[in-house]
Chain A
Amino acid sequence: MGRYLRRRIIISISILFVILLILFLLMQFMPGSPFNDAKLSEEQVASLKESYGLDKPVIVQFFRYIGKMLKGDLGVSYSIAPNTPITSLLVNRFPVTLRIGFLSLIFGTLAGLTLGLIAAFFRSRIIKVIFNILTLLGIAVPSYMFAMFFSWTLGYKCNIFPMLYDFRSPMFSSAMPILALSLSVMAVIGQFTRSEAEDVIKSDYVLLAKTTGMKSSTIIIKYILRNSLIPVITVMASLLVSLLTGSLVIEKMFAVPGIGGLLTTAISSNDYSVVIALSFVYSALYIVVMLILDILYCVVDPRVRLGGKPS
């Protein structure tokens, strides 16, 4: 297990390095520059570039960037908040995005697992139809549609939840963004859990467990749930991507002061260093979660734990 983990961590770090390199190069190909202002003379632009170190060769810029980044310095913003360190832009926003994202993932997963198991166990026609409609909706309808629907119903008509994010009650006002984001997670996890649990229920080892006279609760927890979880963990990784991209739009709709809104603004105003920093934060977030999922995998499935070594 230790060896496996060490290997996974080294791989993750190298992936992050490659991502950073690609991001950096892509930025060079972007049209325009942060100093796209007709009022600036060429000399002024040149001196601005010099003061930010943008006149150096790309490769030098890249390594200087990495060197500073390791010290926790992500550079400064050029245009949206001139000369503000990006780290200070992130400090307040990142936790908000993180909280909404993880709560959506956890809430969606738990709800999906529960619904999927229910659908696998009670195989009446009505439950099947309701389950299929719900999950299909969840998969097909993008999260911003749910967001609009919830703001109109729960927010505007019923006045249950605030329609915009509020600093004074961060949890309560995050309810609708979390709900909107978690529905697709719930639908996908639900579908996977159901089909997997149906297979596991029919498997020989569950039948055998039944013939030993074990309690149903033991069979469900130790035999069915655990084995159904394995593929669900795999899906969670890909769900995270849709969660992250979804959060970009959702944050905007509910005026959530997270990094999603910051990223969209930075892209439209050509603020290189902010775009790179945020894209990197998103990638890192993704890779860290993948790592966590891999560890979870080890915990749930002993076959992974042994690192594929034949016994």
Chain B
Amino acid sequence: MSDIARIVLEVKDLKVTFRLPTGDVHAIRGLDLTLEENEVLALVGESGSGKSVGVKSFMGILPDNAVIESGEALFHDQDQTVDLLKMKDSVRRKNINGTKIAIVFQDPMTSLNPTMSIGAQLITVLRSHKKIPKKEAYARGIELLREVGITDPERTMGQYPHQLSGGMRQRVVIAIALSQDPKLLICDEPTTALDVTIQQRILELLQSIQRARGLSIIFITHNLGVVSKIADKVAVMYAGKVIEKGTVFDIFYDPRHPYTWGLLSAVPELSDSKQELYSIPGTPPDLSKEITGDAFAPRNPYAMEVDFKAEPPMFKLSNTHYAATWLADPRAPKVDIPPELAERIRKMKQEAKDYAEG
């Protein structure tokens, strides 16, 4: 199998703008993503960096005031390639939504229809593409609920969303997403609204399902702890663009973009209670204004003159690792990553080694 055939989704230069009464907001300013089969790609970034908007645009569920300015989202399925952005809603609904790509939202409290029983919702979804008998759909629903770790599926089928806990509801949402056997699952912060203990279980569930089914997953989150657990690859987003991407090891052990440094430094550390919690200074840029140069430059203590003038291209650092910062330019002065972060990374590596050995 050639390399190209293994790619599931390619997003190229996607630009999405929100038309607001106060002016246009350029939420996505040229998003590039590549997702391979059987791969978990984490999309990381602050609130407002455009993580969700990006995926919503190729699911056709953007709000009315959002406009896709340019770009393509190529979905490869067997021998066919389709551009999700140029597809009519009706075609996408028939051929893509649910059966090829499915999504899990952030808040399980609002993701289910409050006036329909879990069983009715599952059965409705199961029968939405293929007209299978209700009995068969019911049996399939039970199977799905069991797959997502619900212990008494017969009971759950008859219950309404308000009778279930958040974790249970998210399991149901995952069951609905899996019901039509999609190839690609988009998880839009699926654990953010849950208890920490439940988060862990949902993550484990997603991981085991991913392995069992060979799913490709785009996992949107702002929680780097979650990323390290589940992802194969990471794309760090800032102001509507990917600014660094690589394998989990590239991003966690060898981060290159000053924004990634900031993100990693901002993760609280349990072992070190004396250290003050780090936060990246400043606020994200106003996306309604034209941005020249590197969008992160005003908050970047390592910013050079060129950062305010020209936008850095994606520099290739290795076969898997890319970063859009002028620091990666061969002409740039050598800047070492902050010593505290270097210390952290050393500790993480040590822990990983200890874990592997012991």
Report A's interface with B, CB cutoff 8 A. Answer: 123, 202-205, 207-216, 218, 222-223, 226-227, 230, 300-303, 306, 311
Report yes or no: A212 in contact with B113, Cβ–Cβ below 8 A: no
Q: Which residues of B contact A203 (CB under 8 A)?
A: 110
- A303 adjacent to B102 (CB under 8 Å): no
Q: How far is the CB of B155 from chain A (nearest CB, A)?
A: 11
**A33 → B minimal CB distance (Å):** 55
A215 to B93, CA, bound (A): 8
Contact flags B55-97 to A (C-beta < 8 A → 1, else 0): 0000111011000000000000000000000000000011011
Contact in complex: B128, A218 (CB < 8 Å)? yes
A208 in contact with B111 given A214-B128, A215-B128, A303-B160 (CB within 8 Å): yes
Q: Are B63 and A202 in contact (CB under 8 A)?
A: yes
Which residues of chain A come closer than 8 Å to B129, judged between CB atoms?
A: 213
4 smallest A-B Cβ distances: which pairs? A213-B98, A213-B97, A212-B98, A311-B163
Distance A227 CA – B162 CA, assembled complex (angstroms): 14
Known: A214-B125, A311-B163. 10 other contacts (CB 8 A): A205-B112, A208-B111, A211-B59, A213-B128, A214-B93, A222-B116, A227-B113, A302-B160, A303-B162, A311-B159
Interface residues on B, range: 35 or more
Note all chain A residues with C-beta closer than 8 A to B94: 213
Q: Known contacts A210-B60, A300-B115: does B99 contact A205 (CB below 8 Å)?
A: no
Q: Tell me whether B219 is interfacial, beta carbon within 8 Å.
A: no
Q: In the complex, which of the residues A123, A212, A222 has the most CB atoms of chain B within 10 Å of its own CB atom?
A: A212
Bound complex: CA of A212 vs CA of B113, how far in Å? 13
The complex places the Cα of A136 from the Cα of B263 at a distance, in Å, of 53
How far in angstroms is the closest Cβ of chain A from B308?
A: 39
Q: Which residues of B contact A227 (CB under 8 A)?
A: 113-115
Nearest CB of chain B from residue A4's CB, rounded to whole Å: 16
Tell me whether B143 is interfacial, beta carbon within 8 Å.
no
Minimum CB distance partner of B64 in chain A: A123
Please report the C-alpha to C-alpha distance between residue A300 and residue B176 in the assembled complex, in whole angstroms.
23
Known: A210-B60, A213-B180. A303 touches B97 (CB 8 A): no
B113–A223 CB distance below 8 A:
yes
Q: Is the CB of A218 within 8 A of B105?
A: no
Q: Are A205 and B110 within 8 A (Cβ)? A: yes
Could you say which residues of chain A place their CB within 8 Å of the CB of B103? 208, 211
Which residues of B sit under 8 angstroms from A300, Cβ to Cβ?
A: 115
CB distance from A167 to the nearest CB of B (A): 45
Q: How far is the CA of A181 from the CA of B71 in the complex (A)?
A: 55
A301 to B113, CA, bound (A): 11
| B207 in the interface (beta carbon within 8 A) | no
Within the assembled complex, what's the spacing in Å between the Cα atoms of A123 and B116? 27
B148 to chain A, nearest CB (A): 15
Residues of A within 8 A of B160 (CB): 302-303
How far does the Cβ of B242 sit from chain A's closest Cβ, in whole Å?
23
Mask, B319-334, CB within 8 Å of A = 1, is: 0000000000000000
Q: Distance (Å) between the CB of A99 and the closest chain B CB?
A: 32
Closest to A201 in B: B64
Q: Which of B118-136 contact A (CB under 8 A)?
A: 120, 124-125, 128-129
Contact, CB under 8 Å: A211 / B98: yes
Is the C-beta of B35 less than 8 angstroms from some C-beta in chain A? no
Chain A residues with CB under 8 Å of B250's CB are none
15 contacts between A and B (CB under 8 A): A204-B105, A204-B111, A205-B111, A208-B173, A208-B176, A209-B113, A211-B98, A211-B103, A212-B97, A212-B125, A212-B176, A213-B128, A214-B125, A215-B128, A302-B115
A302–B96 CB distance below 8 A: no
Chain A residues with Cβ under 8 A from B105's Cβ? 204, 207-208
A residues near B124, Cβ cutoff 8 Å:
214, 218, 222
| Per-position 1/0 for B186-222, Cβ under 8 A of A | 0000000000000000000000000000000000000
B288 contacts the other chain (Cβ, under 8 Å)? no
Other-chain contact of A211, B102, B120, B163 (Cβ < 8 Å)? B102
CB of B247 closer than 8 Å to a CB of A: no
Complex CA–CA separation, A222 to B125 (angstroms): 12
Instruction: Decide yes or no: A213 and B93 within 8 Å by CB, A205-B112, A303-B162 being known contacts.
Output: yes
Q: How far is the CB of B225 from chain A (nearest CB, A)?
A: 25
Decide: B162 and A210 in contact? CB cutoff 8 A.
no
Given contacts A204-B105, A302-B162, A311-B162, contact A210 B97 (CB under 8 A): yes
- Report which residue of B94, B102, B115, B180 has the largest number of chain A beta carbons within 10 angstroms of its beta carbon: B115
